Amino acid sequence: MASEPPLPSFAAIVVAAGKGLRVGGEVPKQFRDWRGKPLVRHSVEALLASGASPLVVVIAADARADAEAALAGLEGLRWVTGGASRQDSVRNGLEELTGDAPERVLIHDAARPDLPRVVIARLLRALDRHSGAIPVLPVVDSIALAGEDGTMAGKAERETLRRVQTPQAFRFDDILAAHRAWQGATDAGDDAQVLMASSGSVALVDGDERLKKITFAEDFVTTSTMPAFRVGQGFDVHRLEAGEELWLCGVQIPHDKGLAGHSDADVALHAITDAVLGAIGDGDIGTHFPPSDPQWRGARSGRFLEHAVGLARAAGYAIANIDLTLICEAPKIGPHRPAMRAEVARLTGLDEGAVSIKATTTERLGFTGRGEGIAAQAIVALVLA
Ligand SMILES: Nc1ccn([C@@H]2O[C@H](COP(=O)(O)OP(=O)(O)OP(=O)(O)O)[C@@H](O)[C@H]2O)c(=O)n1
Ligand SMILES: C[C@](O)(CO)[C@H](O)COP(=O)(O)O
């Protein structure tokens, strides 16, 4: 196989100081996992693999720990504190490189994780004849201009329009001077606009759909290989014995017999726990709480369910809904359903409306029909958090 032609030397700036407000969530999007590793790590690795040096990562003042964890083990990175806007963050990154005075610099959004080397090559080649180069894509829909009253105010000729991506490539001295000279009353949309304001010439090269910017929460879902939702099912049986307490869904139920088991034998919570674990493919209740371990003797099963919900959360999923069926001749479940539903909702952090508790008999057939035991089966749906 022919080896890829070497690229000219270049420095890079990855801006990762945004808040990710449109995506939402506690952790800014650039530090959240996407296709198995933090979003920012993807493009930083791609730039390093293409020879970027030095490589400046611009981060918020309070994000150093998150950034170091996200980029752990990568050599030769420099950290710079970002500003209030993307443009401020880029300028801080450029100022950091003044001592190196590289000939070329690529400026890239951490929010665009999938960065093909072929685009980097196109951009750097275009710098032979221009002071800037940007990757663009055609507009395929017709364009309407929106009026303030929500009606169409006009049209634009899409033939002359392009969607602009990053990385954007520049001759370093020109883009640094342009950022320092920026006079706009508001921020520029991107660095090419800053260069144009200083009369630089910007080449348009072919962009790539893979460079899509992760902007909204649904972009994580549609571009991630993690499935948007997962389903798990659980089934459990415990023996009814005289002298035992009867716990179902974390609620103690008065009855002449109770369920026997190593823990509190709450067959309903066991089925739900197994369904959650099944949905994330992480073993079953016995894997996490072995009956051979004395610490689980008599344990409240709510702990098992809370643990499973925590594992699902750590895997990036939230529970969407739970559907449980209890199979027994007695006791009657109906009178206890509201309390059971409330307790399952509390343990899982769900609204009660997302918790369904049903019951059925087996028409006096089998072990449940003879009152020897209670069976429970549950189905749980998870959605990407
Ligand atoms: N003050 C800022 C604002 C944005 N960025 C970076 O600029 C890129 C493009 O910005 P955007 O996708 O809008 O990210 P956020 O500003 O984080 O998103 P939001 O507007 O939803 O808060 C991102 O990599 C972001 O981290 C930055 O370095 N400094
Ligand atoms: C720089 C950019 O990614 C080019 O398309 C874009 O302008 C960033 O815009 P945002 O509003 O900061 O996401």
Closest-CA residue, ligand 2 atom 4, reads 165
CA distance 57 to 77: 7
- The reply to whether 362 sits in an annotated binding site is yes
Residue 164 CB–ligand 2 contact under 6 Å: yes
Q: Which residues pair with 56 in a beta bridge?
A: 13, 78
Closest-CA residue, ligand 2 atom 11, reads 189
pLDDT, residue 3, reads 58
Neighbours of 311 (CB within 10 A): 16
The counts of H helices and E strands in the chain are: 12, 19
Ligand approaching nearest to the C-alpha of 111: 1
Probe target for ligand 1 pocket from 13, 14, 19, 80, with the most ligand atoms within 8 Å of CB: 19
Probe target for ligand 1 pocket from 42, 86, 179, 216, with the most ligand atoms within 8 Å of CB: 86
Q: From the alpha carbon of 14, which atom of ligand 1 is closest?
A: 24
Domains and CATH numbers, the chain: 11-223 (3.90.550.10), 229-384 (3.30.1330.50)
Quick check: 39 and 224 in contact, CB under 8 A? no
Residue 385 CB–ligand 2 contact under 6 Å: no
Q: Which amino acid is located at 152 in the chain?
A: M
Residue 366 CB–ligand 2 contact under 6 Å: no
Neighbours of 79 (CB within 10 A): 14
Per-residue tokens: 307 = 């643990």
Q: Which amino acid is located at 178 in the chain?
A: A
Kindly give the residue spans of alpha helices, DSSP state H, lying in the chain: 39-49, 64-70, 86-96, 117-126, 172-181, 191-197, 217-223, 267-279, 285-288, 302-314, 337-348, 366-369
Residue 262 CB–ligand 2 contact under 6 Å: no
Give, for all 385 residues of the chain, the pLDDT tens digit.
445 678 999 999 999 999 999 999 889 999 998 887 899 999 999 999 999 999 999 999 999 999 999 999 999 999 999 999 999 999 999 999 999 999 999 999 999 999 999 999 999 999 999 999 999 999 999 999 999 999 999 999 999 999 999 999 999 999 999 999 998 889 999 999 999 999 999 999 999 998 999 999 888 877 776 787 899 999 999 999 999 999 999 999 999 999 999 899 999 999 999 999 999 999 999 999 888 888 888 889 999 999 999 999 877 788 999 999 999 999 999 999 999 999 999 999 999 999 999 999 999 999 999 999 999 999 999 997 7
Quick check: 134 and 164 in contact, CB under 8 A? yes
pLDDT, residue 208, reads 93
Residue 189 CB–ligand 1 contact under 6 Å: no
Q: What's the CA-to-centroid distance between 136 and ligand 2, angstroms?
A: 13
